Amino acid sequence: MLAAAGAGVQVGAAIVASRFVVAEVPPLTLAMLRYAIGFLCLLPFALPALRGLRGTLRRGDGLAMAALGIGQFGVLVGLLNWGLQTVAAAPTALIFSLFPLLTLLLGALLGREQANLRLAAGVLLSIAGVGLSLWPKLQLAHGGHWWGELAVLASACVGALCSVLYRPYLQRYPTVPVSAFAMLASVLFLAVIALGEGWPAHVGTLGPRAWALVAFVGLSSGIGYFWWLYALKHESPTRVTVFLALNPVTAALLARTLLAEPLPAQILLALGLIFAGLWCATRAPSGKRQPVPG
C-alpha cells in the first residue's frame, strides 16, 4: 500500500513537470526520453536478474511483457502528453484518476477481480469528483474541444488494461527485470514512431531547464514504476490503482504553486470526493485485509 501511495504521488508530480516542458518537447519524444532515463535508472539493479531471466522465461512471455510495456509506457504516456498540450495539470490528473474504475470493470470482466460494494462505492465517489471538476466545461454553450480530455481518458484505459494483464507475469518473475524489460521495449518502440516528430533534432536543441525537467520526470518514473509493479505483485489491481487518487491532489497543489494555475472551489470539492473514495475502496471489512484473487 505504501508503494502504491508513493506511485500515486509520483504520477501527479510527473504530470506537472510534463506540463512545464511539453511546449518545448513533442509528446512522443518526451515519452521516449522519460523512459529511456527510467530504464537507465533500473538497469544496474535489473541486469543480473535479466541475465538469469533468459533461462526461465516461458515461451511467449517475453513478447507479452514487451507488448504490455509498449502500452504502459509508450501509448499511455504519449496520449497523456498529448492531452497536456491543451488541458491543465489538475484536470488532467483528475481525469486520469478514472484509472481505478476502469481497472475494476476490466478485472471483473476478465474474472481477475472480486468486485464488492465498498470497492465500487469508493471508485464511484472518485468518478463523481472527476465529473465535478469538469462541470464548468460541460456547461459551456458550445461545448468546446474535447480532444485533450479524450486523450487523457484513453491513456487511463490503456493503463487499466495493462495493470490487469501484468499480474500473471509479476507472479512468475522478479519485479525489477520485468520493469526494465518493459521499459526497454517501450523506448525502442517510441524511438521509431517519434521519428515523425524529428526527435534527434529536438533533443539537440533542448536547454538546461528543459533537460532538468526531463531528467526529473525520467528519474521519478523509474522509481515510481518499480513501486507500481511491486504493489501490483502483492495487492489486487484495483486496490493498487485506487491510490492514483493521490495524483490529482499532488498535481493540483504543485500546479497552483509552480504553474500559477487556478484552484477553484469545485476542484477542492472534487479532491474531497476522491479522498473519500480512496478511503472507502481501501478499507477492508472489520479491519481485515482483503484477500488477493489468485
Q: What is the pTM of this model?
A: 0.71
Within a domain: 117: yes
Report the pLDDT value the prediction gives residue 294, as an integer from 0 to 100: 39
State yes or no: pLDDT of 13 exceeds 80: yes
State yes or no: pLDDT of 289 exceeds 50: no
Across residues 153-166, what is the average pLDDT?
88
Domain count, the chain: 1
Q: State percent of the chain over pLDDT 90.
A: 8
Within a domain: 294: no
State yes or no: pLDDT of 292 exceeds 70: no
Within a domain: 214: yes
Range of the structural domain that residue 166 is part of: 2-285
Within a domain: 292: no
Q: What is the DSSP string of 117-175?
A: HHHHHHHHHHHHHHHHHHHHHHTSTT----HHHHHHHHHHHHHHHHHHHHHHHHHHS-H
Within a domain: 293: no
State yes or no: pLDDT of 37 exceeds 80: yes
For 99-112, what is each residue's pLDDT tens digit?
777 877 787 777 76
Across residues 81-98, what is the average pLDDT?
80
Highest mean pLDDT among 14-18, 130-134, 281-285: 14-18
For 40-65, what is each residue's pLDDT tens digit?
887 887 777 666 666 677 778 888 98
Helix H or strand E encompassing 2? helix 2-21
Q: Judge contact between 103 and 237, C-beta under 8 A.
A: yes
C-alpha pair distances (Å), 125 with each of 90, 116, 265, 294:
18, 14, 17, 27
- Centre a 10 Å sphere on the Cβ of residue 21 and count the other Cβ atoms it contains: 21
Phi, psi (deg, nearest 5) at residue 129: -65, -45
Within a domain: 247: yes
Q: How confident is the model at residue 293 (pLDDT cuts 50, 70, 90)?
A: very low
Report the pLDDT value the prediction gives residue 158, as an integer from 0 to 100: 92
Within a domain: 243: yes
State yes or no: pLDDT of 249 exceeds 90: no
Query: Over the chain, what is the mean pLDDT?
Result: 79
Report the pLDDT value the prediction gives residue 24, as an integer from 0 to 100: 84
Within a domain: 54: yes
* Distance (Å, whole) CA 203 – CA 200: 5
